[in-house]
């Protein structure tokens, strides 16, 4: 059986977690890996729709996602998570439960996030129209020692995905054949 692990993308809204995680997922799937992507927005719709955005609810959301990752990883599946997961303690709880937990911090300056704001969420949050908005009226606690840091304001999504894949290869978690010169 293949070795399962969890690749946990964390960062503020609009940082690029979903975009990069989808690129990584596609590459791993094309290489024949068993992989599941748990996107924060999708998980909230299907697994956590009963939760709001209080600290307790956000912690429970991360705990539930972590439980699914624990199950998937145990049976040899690569679980990829793209979720804001703003609180360090809840991410560390998942790390303590999941073998082979790889944290990817998708760092992006607030000014760039506001410029990228395709959904208009930062504008609404800054106007006080959205309560408990991560990075504005609610904290985001960056990881202290993530295994991978992506600077999405400085790297393309493709460059970021390649960095993630190379790190996974260097740790012996994956082996992907690439075309010559790639």
Nearest to 90 by CA among 141, 132, 156: 141
Question: CB–CB of 103/171 below 8 Å?
Answer: no
CA distance 46 to 29: 23
Q: Which residues are catalytic?
A: 85
Q: How far is C-alpha 153 from the chain's CA centre?
A: 16
- What is the CB-side half-sphere exposure of residue 7 using CA atoms within 13 A? 32
CA distance 73 to 83: 17
């Amino acid at each position: 059986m293949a070795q399962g692990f969890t690749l946990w993308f964390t960062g503020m809204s609009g940082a690029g977690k979903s975009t990069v995680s989808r690129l990584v997922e596609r590459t791993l799937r094309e290489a024949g890996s068993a992989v599941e992507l748990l996107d924060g927005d999708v998980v909230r719709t299907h697994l956590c729709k009963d939760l709001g955005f209080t600290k307790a609810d956000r912690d429970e959301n991360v705990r539930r996602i972590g439980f699914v990752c624990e199950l998937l990883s145990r049976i040899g599946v690569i679980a990829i998570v793209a979720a804001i997961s703003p609180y360090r303690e809840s991410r560390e709880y998942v790390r303590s439960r999941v073998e082979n937990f790889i944290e990817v911090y998708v760092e992006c300056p607030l000014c760039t996030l506001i410029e990228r704001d395709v959904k208009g969420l930062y504008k609404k949050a800054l106007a006080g129209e959205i309560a408990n908005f991560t990075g504005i009226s609610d904290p985001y606690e960056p990881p202290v020692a993530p295994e991978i840091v992506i600077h999405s304001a400085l790297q393309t999504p493709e460059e970021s995905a390649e960095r993630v894949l190379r790190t996974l290869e260097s740790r012996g978690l994956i082996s992907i054949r690439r075309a010559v010169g790639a």
